Amino acid sequence: MSDIDLRRRNFFKTSLGAAAVAIAPGILLFDLAHGKPQSVGGKVRWGMLIDTTQCREGCNDCVTACNKENGLSGGTSATDSQWIRKVEIKEISTGRKVSLPMMCQHCDKPPCVDVCPTGASFKRVDGIVLVDRHLCIGCRYCMMACPYKARSFVHEPVTGQNPDVPRGKGTVESCTLCVHRVDNGQQPACAESCPNKAILFGDLNDPESEISKKIRSVASVQVRADLGLNTGVRYQGL
């Protein structure tokens, strides 16, 4: 093969490579900027495993991260929205103390959905329990029905919301498992913020996922398992 042929071939190779490098990020960024056009699949079930042995007493990082991400005030009075709370429990006979975050448990059979008169409270096919605020009339039946006290009612007008997390007066709200982040392939804010990595987020239906492997190998419980709600959030070391 002549020298010119080889040079020509190399020239084409490099220009093809350069074109691919130039175009590929454009396509990727375009996809990112426009969000996902397809709906979420029912094969996934999102869940969390919370390792209470790694959860430090007095640490509030998950709560702070949740408040910041979702635009909550951070107040803890009866009329403030709280999507996640830190709970300290103590076994009286032994004196053993455990600290854990408590939020919507994203039940498989959610009582809040059963009682909702308008269909505003619903479970997405991937297991995330949400409130459709367009349909919510603020009756608060779901708050009564929830055994985990996970839901809050918005009493005052809200301003300066995160564009991804609309919130408003007269509707009920709770942990969304950071659905806007999950849909973009990110972790919920609380899981990401935990300094001890005590919150493991993942797909419970995928046997190869980190969370599935861990719940197979270590003992974990559902809070109020006696109610048979099959919660998506599980606790280890409780």
Partner 1 sequence: MKLFASLLLCLCLPAAWAAGTSTPELDIGKGGQCVEDVQWMRKNHMNLLRHQRDETVHKGVRDTRRSLKGCIECHASTRDHSVTARADSFCVGCHSYQAVKVDCFECHSDKRKSAWLEKNAK
Which residues contribute to the site for partner 1 (CB under 8 A)? 33-40, 68, 122, 124-126, 130, 132-134, 157-158, 160-164, 166-169, 171, 179-180, 183-184
> How would DSSP label each residue in the chain?
--HHHHHHHHHHHHHHHHHHHHHHHHHHHHHHHH---SPPPTT--EEEEEETTTPPTT--HHHHHHHHHHT-----STTS--SEEEEEEE-TTT--EEEEEEE----SS-HHHHH-SSS-EEE-TTS-EEE-TTT-----HHHHH-TT---EE--S---S--TTS---TT-EE---TTHHHHTTTPPPHHHHH-TT--EEEEETT-TTSHHHHHHHHS-EE-TTGGG----SEEEE--
| Beta carbons of 84 and 62 less than 8 angstroms apart | yes
Decide: 205 and 44 in contact? Cβ < 8 Å: yes
- Do the Cβ atoms of 43 and 205 come closer than 8 Å? yes
